[in-house]
């Protein structure tokens, strides 16, 4: 079973990879993680926890541009 932290790190890597190219929704990240880790190892609850971990830690933020997207925080 994948841990929330492992999934959060994989999500962060994906958000970083697509930064400036494509905005990712929470559903996009969840689908990608289930595909990567498999249905047995990654479920909706783990993905929600991983997204919460990314937002709470400040590694990612929500962006609302015609929808809700998870993005890297703006640089200071």
Would you tell me how many other CB atoms lie within 10 Å of the CB of residue 10?
18
pLDDT of residue 76: 44
The answer, yes or no, to whether residue 69 has pLDDT greater than 80, is yes
Model's pTM, two decimal places?
Answer: 0.92
Range of 24's domain? 4-71
Q: What is the pLDDT of residues 9-58, one digit of tens each?
A: 999 999 999 999 999 999 999 999 999 999 888 999 999 999 999 999 99
pLDDT of residue 74: 87
CATH of the domain at 13: 1.10.10.10
64 belongs to a structural domain? yes
- What is the rounded distance in angstroms from the CA atom of residue 40 to the CA atom of residue 19? 29
76 belongs to a structural domain? no
Number of structural domains found in the chain: 1
């Amino acid at each position: 079973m994948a841990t929330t932290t492992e999934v959060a790190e994989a999500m962060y890597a994906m958000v970083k990879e697509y930064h400036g190219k494509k905005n990712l929704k929470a559903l996009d990240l969840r689908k990608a993680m289930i595909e990567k880790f498999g249905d047995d190892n990654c479920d909706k609850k783990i993905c929600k926890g991983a997204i919460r971990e990314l937002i709470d830690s400040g590694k990612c933020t929500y962006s609302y541009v015609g929808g809700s997207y998870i993005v890297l925080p703006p640089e200071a």
